[in-house]
């Protein structure tokens, strides 16, 4: 059984990714840390608790950073709904948050399971950066770190054209984690777009009668309106793609290894993931394993498996 920790800012694609992780036979999710990102922490925390209400076993949820270290982008409520879950007016969760703050809980789990804990990061990297600052040995005790973030060819998805949301929302936190965590695996926005199912396919998946499909359809209604209102042929699912890489790394058909630096200067590139593709050796951080290509059919099958 693989032991995983998930850091997240639910968000509809976070929710789908969490269902994939918690429903996977060879994975146990030991804990979830929550960060403000897609929407404010009061919503992302409430939503994470709603997702663990649907888990097949109890999963502790820890509240983390409400704000980025310094400051980045506006949130993504216009995509996910102002409450992050489609303003579906869901009842409050039965589960309640643990008292221990996120960064401390992650550190504690990594001590209890040294060498065995894997981490999947689906939101801005604020909680992980704080944990690394408190305990610089944290990365050395973790087995894998899979991060959804960045746009390796500078085709971003924020109002900074070259920045992806999770990195652009808290660039300083991202710089800390990229600079300190050897062996990080990166699943970026451009791979997300390349692997995106047709919007009509997603509509059909969500129209199924299962409880999971109906629940996901309810929380995705703002996102569906955004996708269809903009006439998008494809519907991108970033966090489920990162979950697939966590669950089944062999679905990645091409990896590239290169150091990545985060652009921090105020201005048109703030939050960009700059990759040293040519090995020029100017960057100080460790190489990042960048997923460049993936088995797209396996991805779509893995998303549907939870429905």
What residue ranges bind ligand BDR (CB under 6 A)? Answer: 11, 13-14, 38, 76, 122-123, 148, 157, 164-166, 189, 238-239
Report CA-CA distances (Å) from 12 to 70, 213, 221, 239, 255: 25, 12, 10, 9, 27
Cα–Cα distance for residue pair 83/272, rounded to 1 Å: 27
Q: In terms of CB distance, is 135 or 167 closer to ligand BDR?
A: 167
Provide the 3-class DSSP secondary structure of residue 275.
strand
Output 11 or 72, the one with its CB closest to ligand BDR: 11
Select 66 or 104, whichever has its Cβ closest to ligand BDR.
66
Among 4, 5, 6, 14, interactor with Ca ion by CB under 5 A: 14
Task: Determine the interface stretch with Ca ion among 49-57, 114-122, 156-164, 214-222 (rule: CB under 5 A).
Answer: 114-122
Q: Radius of gyration over alpha carbons of the chain, in Å?
A: 18
261 binds, among ligand BDR, Ca ion, none (CB under 5 to 8 A by kind): none
Q: Can you tell me which of 122, 147, 206, 263 binds Ca ion, judged by CB under 5 A? A: 122
Among 6, 11, 44, 222, binds Ca ion (CB under 5 A): 11
Nearest approach, Cβ of residue 136 and Ca ion (Å): 26
| Nearest residue (CB) to Ca ion, 14 versus 170 | 14
Interacting partner of 165 out of Ca ion, ligand BDR, none (Cβ under 5 to 8 A depending on kind): ligand BDR
Q: Minimal CA–CA distance to 294: which of 303, 306, 286, 305?
A: 303
SS3 65: coil
Please state the closest distance from residue 38 (CB atom) to ligand BDR, in A.
Answer: 5
How far, in Å, CA of 284 to CA of 29, rounded? 32
Scanning residues 233 to 292, which ones bind Ca ion (CB under 5 A)? 239
Select from ligand BDR, Ca ion, none the partner in contact with residue 272, using the beta carbon and a kind-dependent cut-off of 5 to 8 Å.
Answer: none
Instruction: Tell me whether residue 116 or residue 226 sits nearer to ligand BDR (CB atom).
Output: 226
123 binds Ca ion (CB under 5 A): yes
> Among residues 237 and 283, whose Cβ is nearest to Ca ion?
237
User: Smallest distance, Å, CB 286 to ligand BDR?
Assistant: 23
Query: Are the beta carbons of 188 and 256 closer than 8 angstroms?
Result: no
Record the tokens describing residue 142, joined without a space. Answer: 């973790």
In the bound state with ligand BDR, the residue whose beta carbon lies nearer, of 125 and 135, is 125
Cα(222)–Cα(75) distance, integer angstroms: 15
**Which tokens hold the place of 212?**
């999971």
Exposure class string for 132-161: b at 16+ Cβ within 10 A, else e = beebeebbebbbbbbbbbbbbebebbbebe
Provide, rounded to whole angstroms, the least separation between the CB of residue 296 and ligand BDR: 18
Residue whose CB is less far from ligand BDR, 11 or 40: 11
Count residues binding Ca ion (CB under 5 A).
6
Question: In whole angstroms, what is the distance from residue 44 CA to residue 35 CA?
Answer: 7
Q: Which residues on adjacent β-strands are paired with residue 31?
A: 5
Q: In what order do the strands lie in the sheet with 2-8?
A: 61-63, 27-34, 2-8, 117-121, 142-148, 185-187, 287-294, 252-262, 273-275
Least gap, CB of 237 to ligand BDR (angstroms) = 9
Positions touching Ca ion (CB under 5 A) are: 9, 11, 14, 122-123, 239
């Amino acid at each position: 059984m693989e032991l995983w920790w998930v850091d997240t800012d639910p968000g509809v694609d976070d929710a789908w990714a969490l269902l994939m992780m918690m429903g996977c036979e060879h994975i146990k999710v030991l804990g979830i840390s929550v960060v403000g990102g897609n929407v404010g922490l009061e919503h992302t925390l409430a939503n994470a608790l709603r997702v663990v209400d649907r888990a097949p076993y109890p999963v502790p949820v820890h509240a983390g950073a409400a704000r980025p270290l310094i400051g980045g982008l506006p949130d993504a409520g216009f995509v996910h709904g102002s409450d992050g879950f489609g303003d579906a007016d869901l009842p409050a969760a039965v589960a309640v948050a643990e008292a221990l703050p996120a960064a401390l809980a992650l550190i504690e789990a990594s001590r209890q399971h040294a060498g065995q804990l894997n981490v999947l990061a689906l939101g801005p990297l604020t909680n992980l950066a704080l944990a690394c600052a408190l305990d610089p040995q944290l990365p050395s005790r973790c087995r894998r770190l899979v991060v959804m973030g960045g746009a390796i060819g500078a085709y971003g998805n924020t109002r900074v054209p070259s920045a992806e949301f999770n990195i652009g929302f808290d660039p300083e936190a991202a710089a800390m984690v990229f600079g300190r965590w050897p062996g990080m695996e990166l699943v970026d926005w451009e791979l997300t777009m390349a692997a995106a199912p047709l919007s009509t396919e997603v509509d059909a998946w969500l129209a199924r009668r299962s409880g999971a499909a109906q629940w996901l359809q309810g929380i995705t209604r703002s996102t569906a309106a955004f996708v269809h209102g903009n006439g998008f042929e494809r519907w991108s699912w970033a966090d489920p793609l990162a979950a697939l890489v966590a669950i089944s790394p062999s679905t990645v058909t091409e990896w590239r290894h290169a150091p990545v630096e985060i652009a921090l200067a105020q201005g048109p590139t703030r939050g960009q993931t700059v990759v040293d593709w040519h090995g020029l050796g100017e960057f100080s951080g460790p190489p990042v394993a960048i997923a460049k290509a993936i088995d797209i059919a396996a991805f779509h099958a893995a998303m549907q498996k939870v429905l």
